[in-house]
């Protein structure tokens, strides 16, 4: 498979249809005006672009790219850009909608957006990736901006990709625009604490949930699916807190040690070898087996629809923390809820990234930057407050954490929509 070849999708169901179905259920549960639900079930706008790139061998290939804005009622759109061979337009639309709810739940003045390019970044050279990024930015340049739509990293992209977007946009307008994108390197206006922010937000949620249950992180057994930015940082943070990270995996498979893995050594091994398999003192395990492994906390930090109606009955975790977006299907949700497994939903559990992206945006607009302890403290305040609001709503309505989180978020966006009214 070449870097330009679309991959077979990992999605079993249409993610946008699932997101719309979730929204309708929230509307019924929280008695939201059906007219507002109808409005919020559609994306505000989207573009599909062809991104021709000259490859290292001299050939030119037109990659397919997307940028979708779901809602801007509460402020400019915010959302990541992913480079992945299985990107689809409906996936991007669903992710944009989930970003709207995530920002609203966290109380951020943003709406939701998302972008993606169909490619395999692992098979692109650095030069090819830069040319792809700059051309993609140029194709969507009229759609983005610090007061319109602010991209950030996602699956397959990183701080370097954000730096290229920042530079391309700034060169086109003739001056540096720090607020056009977040997740940038510190040297060009990034924020301290941004790189591990998503994982840190997940840590705060897991810790608070265990406290609610009269427990603590010390010696809790954790399995993490996905060992990219979120998964690896979460493993490190949990290890520092005294948890026992027993199982981790990447796209090729994983490793398991019931007594706990040496997380720093695992990270070093993967950096050297590019894979987790072969790590000394651990058994190899598949991603499918990881989902069903006996543990206290399961953290899916990879892609969507990893926990389905098929494998949900065999999940043995006591708690699931969704480090990824949409890793659990609605059918699986019902099974897990019936089995008494606490699910910390994506819009709450992985919102740390967009919270610190908001901090970076604010710092860029002010051109005044904070210290790392300030970032961590403000992140903790926002995430824990959102957790407490969600937990309280869950108890008051006798529903799931996901339905409670979505209910809070959807009602906030609906209220803002009503107050602003329809124009013209």
Q: Positive or negative CA dihedral for 310, 403, 250, 265? A: negative
Helix (H, G, I), strand (E, B) or coil at 275: coil
Cβ neighbour number for residue 20 with a 10 Å cutoff: 18
Quote the tokens at residue 44. Answer: 């505000």
Pair of tokens at residue 25: 């259920």
- Helices 372-397 & 352-366 angle (0-180, nearest 10): 140
Report whether pLDDT(354) > 50.
yes
Q: Which fold has domain 15-175?
A: Rossmann fold (3.40.50)
What's the pLDDT score for residue 10?
60
How is 166-190 classified by DSSP, letter by letter?
A: HHHHHHHHTS--GGG-SS--GGGT-
- Whether the pLDDT of residue 72 is over 90: the answer is yes
| 9-18, 132-141, 144-153: range with lowest mean pLDDT | 9-18
Region 385-394 average pLDDT: 97
- Fold match flag (15-175 vs 197-349): yes
CB-based contact 229:152 (threshold 8 Å): no
Mean pLDDT of 120-135: 97
Q: Where are the domains of the chain?
A: 15-175, 197-349
Residues 152-181: what's their mean pLDDT? 96
Q: Across residues 224-245, what is the average pLDDT?
A: 94
Which residue among the candidates 114, 129, 184, 318 is catalytic per the annotation?
114
Does the pLDDT of residue 232 top 80, yes or no? yes
- Look at 326 and 406; give whichever has higher pLDDT: 406
The answer to whether residue 187 scores a pLDDT higher than 80 is yes
Contact call for residues 297 and 318 (beta carbons, < 8 A): yes
Q: What percent of the chain has pLDDT over 70?
A: 97
Q: Is the dihedral of CA 167, 83, 73, 392 positive or negative?
A: negative
Q: How confident is the model at residue 171 (pLDDT cuts 50, 70, 90)?
A: very high
Average the pLDDT over 68-74 and give the result.
Answer: 97
Q: How far from each other are the two terminal CA atoms of the chain, in whole angstroms?
A: 50
> Over 80: is that where the pLDDT of 11 sits?
no
Instruction: Provide mean pLDDT across the span 227-255.
Output: 93
% helix, strand, coil for the chain, step of 5: 45, 15, 35
| Average pLDDT of the chain, as a whole number | 94
Are residues 324 and 230 in contact, defined by beta-carbon separation less than 8 angstroms?
yes
Average pLDDT in the 97-113 region? Answer: 97
Peptide bond into 189 cis (omega under 30): no
Per-residue pLDDT of 249-305, as tens digits, reads 998 899 999 999 999 999 999 999 989 999 998 999 998 999 999 999 999 998 778
Bond from prior residue into 424 cis (ω within 30 degrees of 0): yes
pLDDT for res 364? 94
Write down the pLDDT at residue 424: 84
**Residue 102 among the catalytic residues:** no
What are 298's two structure tokens?
Answer: 């399961």
pLDDT at 1 over 50: no
Phi and psi at residue 116, in whole multiples of 5°?
-165, 155
Predicted TM-score (pTM) of this structure: 0.92
- Once rounded to an integer, what is the mean pLDDT over residues 133-149? 97
Q: Rounded mean pLDDT of 2-19?
A: 72
> E strand or H helix at 344, and its extent?
strand 342-344
Determine the 3-state secondary structure of 410 from DSSP: helix
Closest CA to 84 of 196, 150, 5: 5
Q: Note the pLDDT of residue 210.
A: 96
Q: β-strand 319-321 against 342-344: which pairing, if any? A: parallel
Fold assignment, 197-349: Rossmann fold (3.40.50)
pLDDT category at 9 given cuts 50, 70, 90 is low
pLDDT at 302: 85
């Amino acid at each position: 498979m070449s870097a330009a070849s679309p991959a077979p999708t990992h999605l079993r169901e249409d993610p946008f249809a699932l997101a719309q179905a979730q929204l309708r259920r929230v509307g019924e549960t929280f008695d939201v005006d059906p007219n507002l639900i109808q409005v919020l079930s559609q994306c505000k706008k989207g573009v599909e672009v062809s991104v021709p790139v000259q490859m290292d061998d001299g050939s030119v290939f037109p990659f397919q790219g997307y940028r979708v804005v779901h809602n801007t009622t509460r402020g400019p759109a915010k959302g990541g850009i992913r480079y992945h061979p299985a990107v689809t337009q409906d996936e991007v639309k669903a992710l944009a909608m989930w970003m709207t709810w995530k920002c609203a739940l966290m109380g951020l003045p943003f709406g939701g957006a998302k972008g993606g390019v169909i490619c395999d970044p692992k098979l692109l050279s650095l030069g090819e990736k830069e040319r792809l990024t700059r051309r993609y930015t140029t194709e969507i340049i009229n759609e983005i901006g610090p007061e319109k739509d602010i991209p950030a990293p996602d699956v397959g992209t990183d701080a370097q990709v954000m730096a290229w977007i920042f530079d391309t946009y700034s060169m086109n307008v003739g001056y540096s625009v720090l607020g056009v994108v977040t997740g940038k390197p510190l040297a060009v206006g990034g924020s301290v604490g941004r790189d591990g922010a998503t994982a840190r937000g997940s840590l705060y949620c897991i810790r608070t949930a265990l406290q609610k249950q009269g427990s603590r992180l010390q010696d809790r057994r954790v399995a993490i699916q996905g060992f990219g930015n979120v998964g690896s940082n979460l493993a490190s943070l949990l290890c520092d807190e005294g948890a026992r990270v027993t199982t981790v995996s990447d796209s090729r498979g994983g490793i398991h040690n019931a007594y706990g893995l040496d997380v720093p050594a695992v990270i070093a091994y993967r950096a050297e070898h590019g894979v987790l398999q072969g790590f000394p003192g651990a058994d190899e395990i598949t991603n499918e087996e990881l989902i069903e492994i006996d543990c206290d906390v399961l953290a899916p930090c990879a892609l969507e629809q990893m926990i389905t109606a098929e494998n949900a009955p065999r999940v043995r975790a006591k708690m699931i923390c969704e480090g990824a977006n949409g890793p659990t299907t609605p059918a699986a949700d019902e099974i897990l809820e019936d089995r008494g497994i606490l699910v910390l939903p994506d819009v709450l559990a992985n919102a740390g990234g967009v919270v610190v992206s908001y901090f970076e945006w604010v710092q860029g607009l002010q051109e005044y930057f904070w210290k790392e302890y300030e970032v961590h403290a403000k992140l903790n305040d926002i995430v824990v407050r959102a957790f407490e609001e969600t937990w309280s709503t869950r108890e008051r309505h006798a529903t799931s954490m996901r339905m409670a989180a979505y209910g809070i978020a959807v009602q906030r966006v609906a209220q803002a929509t009503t107050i602003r009214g329809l124009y013209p």
